Amino acid sequence: MIRCAIKARDAPRMMNATNAVLLPERSDEAPVLKRVYDLRGNNGNSDHCFADVAILSDAFLAETEARAGELLEAHLAFLQLRQKEPARSRGEYAFDLLLVGHALRQYGDTAEAASDWSMALARALFWIRRRSTPLKPLADGMRAILVHHLLMPQKGRKPTSQCSGIARLGRTIQWLLASGEFEQLALRCRYWLRFLQTLSLDEAVRWVGVCCDLAAWFEREADVALGAYTRGVSDFLAADFVRRGCREDQLFCGQQPVDYHLGMVAAELMNRGLRIAFERTGRKVVLLPACMRAARADRCRAQGEKPDLICAGCDPECNVNSITRQFLKRGATVYLVPHSSSFSRWLERWKRETDTGVIVVACLLNILPGGLEVRAKGIVAQCVPLDFPGCRKHWNSEGISTRVNQERIVQIAASSLSP
């Protein structure tokens, strides 16, 4: 179904977009040979990508209803009795179901092979890096070695023991929490685990199998629908990533094309679920990642105390400056988020400002965990992925000035902002 929809809409474009990561850059951008992903394809902007994501999202929801509509109904009834979070849309719960299957397929074997002591040590080191700035470099170095040699090498290999679907899911959740990279994914899987544990073992195992089959379906269909935008991922993993060796960000940067596709669909479904509430908020703020400054970061004069940094307009060519000027005219405030590690702490203020709608711009690999965290904190938000990544820490040692589809941000905010 999804193949037919996309081919009928724009088959020639899909053929050209496959080589998007090899196209020369526009003259106003720093030259670079490849992008890990590029949502602009061969079209100059990412509008076509967002249309493809919407088509895939609709197909995914229909497929989930066909395969597991009964399970969704039972889960929603369970949540009504034991609800511990604000209700989400049915589409978001369907996506959570997809995450269960994805986690088991992607990390289940690794989790079963990991030792208890290595996961306990990884959790302790992650706790230290979050709470001690002086010890963070040491903790990160130790985590890099631990992940490289003990937590990640078994990825893709056969499990060492035969666990039931429920036991395997529980073990996978432990590993996700220990990794330090997939906390939000683990929390969503845990909600489903608690529900599945109320079923008979045979029934629970059967539904876990359905989740895994759904995840396999999504991976195939997403590669057809969105693979043109993520062809650079495989090249990156086969070359640059391998040469990096043991690094603190190896789990984050080592994710597969399907993880990028999940981020795209996650943004679409979470935006749908929160759209009405977002439109009703009286104030709008936009959060931009600091990587949008790139080489200009060294001379950036952004004002305020971290994490509340506001563009000072010092560079007329800066992407952040352009967006800031555009939204000042519309009555919205634009903030710079120095790094994703600052994101959790910075979000605390918006938990208390219930009449504020937040537009979050982030790299695709940060969209899923960031969006889930925003959702968990009860913040009314809309997510927009960067057109391509380029921060110094993860993707390019020189730093590429990243971009976002500004018109899409304007469209999201326009319905309730002053003209």
Region for 50 from its dihedrals, namely left if φ exceeds 0, alpha if ψ lies in -120 to 50, beta otherwise: alpha
Instruction: Give the chain's mean pLDDT.
Output: 82
- Residues 114 and 116: their CA atoms lie apart, in Å, by 7
Query: In the prediction, which pLDDT does 19 show?
Result: 34
The answer to whether the beta carbons of residues 225 and 56 sit under 8 Å apart is: yes
Query: In the prediction, which pLDDT does 31 show?
Result: 40
The answer to whether the beta carbons of residues 107 and 176 sit under 8 Å apart is: yes
Lowest mean pLDDT among 23-32, 64-73, 264-273, 379-388: 23-32
- Residues 57 and 237: their CA atoms lie apart, in Å, by 26
pLDDT tens-digit readout, 124-179 = 888 888 788 888 888 888 888 888 877 775 554 555 555 668 999 999 999 999 98
Higher-confidence residue: 101 or 353? Answer: 101
Q: How many CA atoms lie within 13 A of 272 on its CB side?
A: 16
Q: How confident is the model at residue 28 (pLDDT cuts 50, 70, 90)?
A: very low
CATH top class, domain 281-414: alpha beta
Percent of the chain residues past pLDDT 70, beyond the cut = 81
Query: In the prediction, which pLDDT does 242 show?
Result: 81
pLDDT tens-digit readout, 168-222 = 999 999 999 998 889 999 999 999 999 999 999 999 999 999 999 999 999 999 9
The answer to whether the beta carbons of residues 142 and 201 sit under 8 Å apart is: no
Q: How confident is the model at residue 30 (pLDDT cuts 50, 70, 90)?
A: very low
Output the DSSP codes for 106-155.
Answer: HHHHHHHHS-HHHHHHHHHHHHHHHH-TTTHHHHHHHHHHHIIIIISTTT
What integer is the mean pLDDT of 94-99? 97
Residue 206, CA distances (Å) to 109, 133, 213, 282 in order: 19, 45, 11, 46
Tell me which residue of 363, 397, 126, 152 sits closest to 267, measured CA to CA. Answer: 363
Residue 96, CA distances (Å) to 201, 229, 304 in order: 21, 24, 38
Q: What would you report as the CA-atom Rg of the chain, rounded to the nearest whole angstrom?
A: 21
What sign has the CA pseudo-torsion 302, 303, 306, 309?
Answer: negative
Query: In the prediction, which pLDDT does 13 show?
Result: 40
* Backbone angles phi and psi of 303, in degrees to 5: -105, 155
What integer is the mean pLDDT of 404-413? 87
- Residues 104 and 168: their CA atoms lie apart, in Å, by 8
pLDDT surpassing 50 at residue 26: no
The answer to whether the beta carbons of residues 310 and 333 sit under 8 Å apart is: yes
Lowest mean pLDDT among 46-60, 94-108, 117-131, 267-281: 117-131
The answer to whether the beta carbons of residues 97 and 64 sit under 8 Å apart is: yes
The answer to whether the beta carbons of residues 46 and 40 sit under 8 Å apart is: yes
The answer to whether the beta carbons of residues 363 and 252 sit under 8 Å apart is: no
Q: How confident is the model at residue 16 (pLDDT cuts 50, 70, 90)?
A: very low
The answer to whether the beta carbons of residues 363 and 391 sit under 8 Å apart is: yes
Quote the pTM value.
0.86
What integer is the mean pLDDT of 74-83? 85
Alpha-helical segments (H) within 239-315: 240-244, 250-253, 257-280
Which tokens belong to 211? 């989740």
For the chain, give every domain's residue range: 47-260, 281-414
Total number of residues shown for the chain? 419
Residue 308, CA distances (Å) to 283, 311, 340 in order: 17, 10, 14
Q: Starting from the edge strand earliest in sequence, which strands make up the sheet with 356-362, in order?
A: 333-337, 283-289, 356-362, 380-385
pLDDT surpassing 90 at residue 101: yes
Query: In the prediction, which pLDDT does 260 show?
Result: 96
Judge residue 183's burial from the number of C-beta atoms within 10 Å of its C-beta, 0-12 exposed, 13-18 middle, 19 or more buried.
middle
What integer is the mean pLDDT of 245-250? 81
- Residues 350 and 8: their CA atoms lie apart, in Å, by 43
pLDDT surpassing 90 at residue 233: yes
Higher-confidence residue: 273 or 126? Answer: 273
pLDDT tens-digit readout, 38-70 = 999 887 789 999 999 999 999 999 999 999 999
